[in-house]
């Protein structure tokens, strides 16, 4: 029974040894700043004993994991002026975890060597800011103030404001002139620009007497199915001594006379 237990212990140790041989080991961990950027970045260098069989996985929280890694001594770095506040590298369940905590938004860039034993992770700003350029020689107290530039800018503003006020004043004056009644009568006389039919009187089956008003002029037109004839033209600006009923009767009589003696007549006229 004791011999059986000894063989089982040897088998268990062999399994542990084989399992340990399959895991990759971290031989070197180095964290270094990257001062070349506008906001200093952070670089993480990892050296492994064997080539990596899988690529590092980056989660949505920027946590980086590498599986099948044997336990190692964890490493924690904190930064005061950098893209990261802290960088924690530690093992958990045969997995290497890299947990960065950023001061601002950052991006992760991974670089793997050809033999896949060296991995470099770079944490850089997501939106790089421009470096502020400092003057090589500070200004001396004897430098005169730039009063001339300020005076020129003030003069330009006053000149622009004066021109704007002049334009607005001219527009207001023009609007006031246009609103006056005399100006409106002079510029826009009250005339009928579009013809309008004011009277229609059927004379028989084929003839009609029509009056059309165009530009303060009243036209008396005789119409039939073939052509039309202008009988008379009356200016509406002149005062009419006769009333409208008498004027219509005279116009109708005059139209009948024109029908009898014109080319528009027919046997029924």
- In sequence order, what DSSP letters do the residues of 187-203 get, joined into one string? HS----SS-EEEEEEE-
Task: Choose among 51, 56, 42, 45: nearest CA to 97.
Answer: 56
Question: What is the CATH architecture of 2-125?
Answer: Sandwich (2.60)
Q: How confident is the prediction along the chain (269 residues), in pLDDT tens digits per residue? A: 556 666 556 655 555 444 445 799 999 999 988 887 777 889 999 999 999 888 888 887 788 999 999 999 999 999 888 889 999 999 999 999 999 998 888 888 889 999 989 999 999 888 765 443 443 445 555 555 556 666 777 877 888 888 889 999 989 998 888 777 666 565 655 554 567 888 888 877 788 888 888 777 888 888 887 777 887 888 776 554 555 566 667 777 777 776 666 655 554 44
Domain ranges within the chain, ordered by starting residue:
2-125, 196-261
Backbone phi and psi for residue 179, each to the nearest 5 degrees, phi listed first: -80, -15
CA atoms of 82 and 39, how far apart (whole Å):
6
pLDDT at 72: 92
156 touches 148 (CB < 8 A): no
Task: Choose among 199, 254, 262: nearest CA to 228.
Answer: 262
């Amino acid at each position: 029974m004791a011999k059986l237990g000894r063989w089982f212990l040897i088998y268990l140790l062999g399994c542990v040894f084989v399992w340990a041989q399959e895991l990759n080991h971290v031989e070197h961990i180095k964290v270094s700043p990257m001062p070349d950027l506008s906001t200093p970045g952070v670089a993480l260098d990892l050296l492994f004993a064997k080539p990596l069989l899988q690529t590092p996985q980056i989660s949505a929280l920027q946590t980086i994991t590498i599986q099948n890694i044997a336990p190692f001594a964890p490493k924690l770095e904190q930064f005061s002026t950098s893209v990261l506040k802290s960088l924690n590298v530690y093992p958990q369940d045969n997995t290497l975890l890299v947990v960065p905590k950023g001061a601002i938004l950052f991006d992760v860039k991974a670089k793997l060597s050809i033999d896949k034993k060296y991995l470099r992770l770079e944490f850089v700003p997501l939106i790089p800011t421009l470096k502020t350029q400092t003057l090589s020689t500070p200004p001396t107290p004897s430098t005169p103030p730039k009063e001339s530039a300020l005076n020129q800018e003030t003069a330009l503003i006053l000149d622009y404001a004066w021109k704007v006020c002049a334009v607005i004043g001219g527009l207001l004056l023009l609007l006031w002139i246009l609103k006056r009644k005399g100006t409106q009568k002079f510029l826009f006389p009250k005339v009928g620009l579009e013809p309008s039919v004011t009277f229609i009187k059927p004379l028989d089956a084929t003839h009609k007497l029509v009056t059309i008003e165009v530009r303060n002029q009243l036209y008396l037109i005789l119409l039939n199915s073939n052509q039309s004839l202008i009988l008379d033209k009356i200016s509406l600006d002149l005062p009419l001594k006769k009333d409208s009923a008498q004027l219509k009767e005279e116009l109708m009589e005059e139209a009948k006379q024109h029908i009898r003696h014109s080319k528009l007549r027919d046997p029924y006229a």
